[in-house]
Amino acid sequence: MHYIHCLNNISKYGTDLLPESYELTDEFDKATGILVRSAAMHDMEFPESLLAIGRAGAGVNNIPIDRCAEEGIVVFNTPGANANAVKEIVLCALLLGSRGIVDGIEWCRENADDENIAKAAEKAKKAFAGREILGKKLGVIGLGAIGAEVANAAIDLGMDVYGYDPYVSVGAAWRMSSAAHHVTNIDDIFRECDYITIHVPAMESTIGMIDSHACSLMKDGAVFLNFSRDTLVDNAAMAEALESGKVHAYITDFAVPEVMGMEGAIVLPHLGASTAEAEDNCAMMAVRELVDYIDNGNIKNSVNYPACDMGVCPEGASRVAVFHDNIPNMVSQITTAFGEGGVNIDNLTNKSKGDHAYTLLDLSQAAPDEAIGKLRGIEGIRRVRVVK
Ligand SMILES: NC(=O)c1ccc[n+]([C@@H]2O[C@H](COP(=O)([O-])OP(=O)(O)OC[C@H]3O[C@@H](n4cnc5c(N)ncnc54)[C@H](O)[C@@H]3O)[C@@H](O)[C@H]2O)c1
Ligand SMILES: O=C(O)[C@H](O)COP(=O)(O)O
223: left (phi over 0), alpha (psi -120 to 50) or beta: beta
- The CA angle 279-280-281, to the nearest 5 degrees, is 95
Residue pLDDT, tens place only, 172-217: 999 999 999 999 999 999 999 999 999 999 999 999 999 999 999 9
- Per-residue confidence (pLDDT) for residue 112, from 0 to 100: 98
Together in a domain, 32 and 131: no
pLDDT tens, position by position, 140-157: 999 999 999 999 999 999
- For residue 183, the model assigns a pLDDT of 98
Ligand 2 midpoint to CA 358 (Å) = 28
Determine contact, residues 16/291, Cβ cutoff 8 Å.
Answer: no
Q: Give the CATH number of the domain where residue 190 resides.
A: 3.40.50.720
Same domain, yes or no: 148 and 232: yes
Locate the ligand 2 atom nearest the alpha carbon of residue 253 and give its number: 5
CATH of residue 352? 3.30.70.260
Task: Give the chain's mean pLDDT.
Answer: 97
Walk across the sheet containing 181-183 and list its strands. Answer: 181-183, 160-164, 137-141, 195-198, 222-226, 247-252, 265-267
Considering only CA atoms, which of 73, 144, 61 is closest in space to residue 305? 73
Quickly list DSSP for 86-132. Answer: HHHHHHHHHHHTTS-HHHHHHHHHHTTT-TTHHHHHHHHGGGG----
Is residue 210 a contact partner of residue 234, using CB atoms and an 8 Å limit?
yes
**Catalytic residue from among 258, 277, 288, 382:** 258
How far from 82 is each of 169, 178, 365, CA to CA, in Å? 18, 23, 42
292: pLDDT strictly greater than 90 = yes
Contact 128, 104 (CB under 8 A): yes
Query: How far is it, in rounded angstroms, from Cα 319 to Cα 310?
Result: 10
Same domain, 64 and 88: no
- The average pLDDT across 80-96 equals 98
- Using the 3D structure, point to which of 305, 327, 353 is the last residue of a domain: 305
Burial of 141 (0-12, 13-18, 19+ CB in 10 A): buried
The boundaries of the domain holding residue 28 are 1-82+275-305
Q: Whose CA is nearest to atom 38 of ligand 1?
A: 144
Q: What is the mean pLDDT of residues 111-139?
A: 98
Ligand 2 center from residue 273 Cα (angstroms): 6
For ligand 2, atom 9: residue with the closest CA: 37
Looking at the chain, the whole-number percentage of residues with pLDDT higher than 90 is 98
Sign, CA dihedral 77-83-86-90, equals: positive
Annotated active-site residue 181? The verdict is: no
Phi, psi dihedrals of residue 34, rounded to the nearest 5°: -120, 135
Does the pLDDT of residue 360 top 90, yes or no?
Answer: yes
Cα–ligand 2 centroid distance for 83 (angstroms): 10
Minimum CA distance residue for ligand 1 atom 18: 144
Show Cβ contacts of residue 2 under 8 Å, excluding neighbours closer than 6 positions: 21, 22, 23, 32, 33, 294
Rounded to an integer, what distance in angstroms lies between the CA atom of residue 25 and that of residue 47? 14
Instruction: Judge if 213 and 330 occupy the same domain.
Output: no
Query: What residue owns the CA closest to ligand 2's atom 1?
Result: 59
Choose, from 67, 99, 181, 270, the residue flagged as catalytic.
270
Q: What is the pLDDT of residue 313?
A: 87
Which pLDDT tens digit goes with each residue over 211-251?
Answer: 999 999 999 999 999 999 999 999 999 999 999 999 999 99
The neighbour count for residue 147, using CB atoms within 10 Å, is 28
In this prediction, residues 25-36 reach a mean pLDDT of 98
Domain co-membership, 97 together with 237 = yes
The span from the CA of 345 to the CA of 331, in Å, is 12
Q: How far away, in angstroms, is 84 Cα from ligand 2 center?
A: 13
- Total tally of structural domains belonging to the chain: 3
| Residue 316 pLDDT greater than 90, yes or no | no
- Which of 295, 308, 291 lies closest to 351 in space, CA to CA? 308
Question: Of 267, 290, 320, at which residue does a domain stop?
Answer: 267
Round to whole Å and give the CA distance between 349 and 357.
Answer: 11
Residues near ligand 2 with C-beta < 6 Å?
Answer: 37-38, 57-59, 82, 270, 272-274
Domain check: are 123 and 210 in the same one? yes
* CA atoms 83, 85, 88, 89: torsion sign: negative
**258 flagged as catalytic:** yes
If asked whether residues 318 and 388 sit together in one domain, one would say yes
Using the atom order of ligand 2, give the atom closest to the CA of residue 37: 9
User: Do 245 and 388 belong to one domain?
Assistant: no
| Contact between residue 269 and residue 255 where contact means Cβ atoms under 8 Å apart | yes
Q: Mutation test of ligand 2: which of 10, 37, 61, 75 has the most ligand atoms closer than 8 Å to its C-beta? A: 37
Number of residues written out for the chain: 388
Based on the fold, state whether residues 20 and 42 are members of the same structural domain. yes
> How much of the chain is in helix, strand and coil states, percent to nearest 5?
35, 20, 45
232 and 95 together in one domain = yes
Q: How far is the CA of 232 from the centre of ligand 2 (A)?
A: 15
Q: Quick one: 210 and 125 in the same domain?
A: yes
In a shared domain, residues 255 and 328: no
Residue 358 has pLDDT above 90, yes or no: yes
Percent of the chain with pLDDT over 70: 100
Residues paired with residue 199 on neighbouring β-strands, in sequence order: none
pTM of the model: 0.96
* Residue in 37, 229, 319, 324 annotated catalytic: 229
Strand, helix or coil at 50? Answer: coil
Can you name the residues that pair with 384 across neighbouring β-strands? 322
Whether the per-residue pLDDT at 314 is higher than 90: the answer is no
- Please state, in angstroms and rounded to a whole number, the distance separating the CA atoms of residues 296 and 60: 24
